[in-house]
Structure 1
């Protein structure tokens, strides 16, 4: 996912819209007010745009930079899925199969190559669920659980609290 697949270009309107917001953050240096066309834009939380702007600073402004963190988070989701399944089922083959299932029919890979906010949200939700399960035996994992929820909220607003609802129903 992190190889040549990330350099497929900006493929749709949403990708271009989000990449432009990140470009304006990068060029202005203003992290606090996300703009589009110079006009403040409050439709989306800022974390994905901050990360795209960071990638612009590292790699230069390009389509590769715009999708770099989506690819990184997509790879992280596959690793977390493996670790989560391995922890729950104590079987590396089941964990491998769970990770492999993510790759087919290909919508996950396609989403991980786009400058969208969905893959960062999915990463933070998966990380939060993994941390919550690990926290049952090791309390410090609750800190990562909380940080992952914060990352989810900063990625896609109220949808980021989804793991908190799961934790609540699990504890009740």
Structure 2
């Protein structure tokens, strides 16, 4: 009895295992997985999340992967139960222009969100026990504030970058 030929799907499964045990680098894994025609052909749309009015500029998962946060041109931030396709929370960001990036801070029980926007502002939103949301201005860039990066392992330190050519270090009160 002969061996059956390995398909690219078989190879992809082996690559996932190798990545998990550290035998395949992230870069090589991404390249090999993206090159798997079988796998790409099997991809399908899981669900459309429709509730924003206007352009959605940012999406980001919380640390557990069960909540997706999104931000839009109409300055709203939404928390999604992405599996159910339902909005869990919607609030005005406090920004005066398009929300360009939003992230849920880790280790905060998903109650601390940081945002940056085309108005140059960097803001913090806190979800209170009663479900209300308070927002506060933390920093400002000259021109648009483009991106946020959370310091690994931190619940209160993150960095922002903007059109002004600056990277700002921001620390939330503990």
Scaled by the length of structure 1, what TM-score is found?
0.28
Scaled by the length of structure 2, what TM-score is found?
0.28
Bigger Cα Rg = 2
More strand by share: 2
More helix by share: 1
